[in-house]
Structure 1
Amino acid sequence: MIGMLDYKLVEAFARVIAEGGFEKAAQVLHVTQGAVSQRVKLLEEQVGCVLMVRSVPPRTTAAGREMLKHYRQVKQLEDDLGPELGQESAGYASMPVGINADSLATWFFPAIGEYLDSQPVLLDLCVDDQAETHKLLKNGDVLGCVSDRAAPVQGGRVEYLGDMDYRLYSNSSYKMKWFNEGVTLESVLKAPMLIFNRKDVMHGVILKDALGTKPNRFNGFYLPSSEKFATAIAAGWACGMLPDQQANEYVERGELADLLPGHVFTVRLHWHCWNLESAALDSFTRVLVAGARGLLVQRP
């Protein structure tokens, strides 16, 4: 049975993981590297299990992920406690959030901009695919996340944000060069396809819907930057999937055209967070949900 945790030790462990090593954690905590190492060792002895793999960078074990989750939740509750006791805030509070790159590049900051203007909050954003961000929450890396998952994680709550509709776009010269006879399986196998990363599957899904079969390979032009996707497609280097929020201005100027009219890949986005009695997390959630619903497509 674990007794009362020494949070000086827990903080050292959390800092090693957050900073990616003992040396950087020591700099943040203003102690020696040896002191940080000793604190983590004492914590592991206290709980009776290994919390991290001493790799570069260090990785949490299953027990370490649970400890990190516990630390973040307690830290958030402690940050909320000061104002409740009439104490002035010691400074900015950190809000770790998991988010997909397309949301970050389009609606996220317009949705919460006024909140950031008025609240002493520092965002700690972890970017991953919308199908993967909920793992950041489950592992305790973040307090909340934007995800395409509709079901809440255990111990969490979920709110629907809205839909992002994606279509396959190209410019006119690219279309003439590669799809002059229409979008066929043969032409798709030859044409350069802009792809965010190896987790990105939406281009395969929409082409399977349009062609009746999924291409078994692509000439992948990998570009892990949502901000540069529209620019690269408009330049004619490849065709690719874009959400309407990014594509509309290019379409209106005649710089991009939908290659598969009538075929849409829809991502339904949800906000997940821990079910904590946290005023800061609650206020952030309210602002984010309201802002997103004003900017994203709303469907039953």
Structure 2
Amino acid sequence: MIEKIPSLAWSDATVMIYGETGTGKELIARAIHYNSHRHGKPFIPVNCGALPDHLIENELFGHAKGAFTDASTAEKGLIAEAEGGALFLDEVDTLSSSAQIKLLRFLQDKEYRHLGSSKSRGADVRVIAATNSNLWYLVETKRFREDLYYRLNVLSVTLPPLRERVSDIPLLAAHFLTRYAKQNRRGLLHLSGDAMQKLIHYPWSGNVRELEGVIQRAAVLCASSVLEPEDIDHFSPCGGSVIGRQFFAGRQEGGLQSIHQCIRFSGNRSFFTKGQDTSHWSVRTVISDESPYCPQRKHNSRRKGRGKRPEDSSEASPEI
């Protein structure tokens, strides 16, 4: 999936991102935006499900002076704020019928109207949408417009749950540990190899969001600069030890490489969070050198093994 980001980024076509709650749909939307020619312009996220029907249209399109009670001044909407950049519509399936019609018109004509105004306004904005629902099922049950469905699905990508890409956990955990160590002025924190094993073996039903919460609590409350298994156990949101939890099959090195690629795609721009400088080197430094998940250790191990037959190598690369 990560390999698709460059091909999704260069175009101005709408993108639809599918995935379970917490899988990182906004992270992917940001990656698409920050690798596009619009990267220097705003990225405006909107959680459509968090806004009531009577407010969503005003938030998106703005209003004219006198459009409703207390509208003493004209206000621009989020589409205007996103001019030249991207508008990310999360939970787009929750839009009301009226908002769906207006969004459809905007996607077709790149024009919209303030509430209470008859004047059309143009906008150069790329729309990226996301849902955790089966959007086609909503179309079939007449809860989502079919014509809007096709407009949004010009390009589409499905983001697998974390349980199906377990090998992405090491660098995701390292990224979150870097962020929250810095945020809480803890200095450089590390994950031991055993602690990383705990994370990898845990069934992340809450996906990336749950992983972030566990790492954040550990970064705040751990007593040492190296997180050990007991730190992960103690702050597990599901309680109890991770030992004995369901072991995930299909751990492959490709997932770890894909996260490396995604970080390289982002360069010095933000991929994971707006304003967060996340480079390949800064992410990998928070993994302890003693951990088998340290990319540098893995790289050195491969260099030492060059020219040797597998049976001659004293150091086998760790399985991820």
**TM-score, normalised relative to structure 1:** 0.26
**TM-score, normalised relative to structure 2:** 0.25
Decide which structure has greater strand share: 1
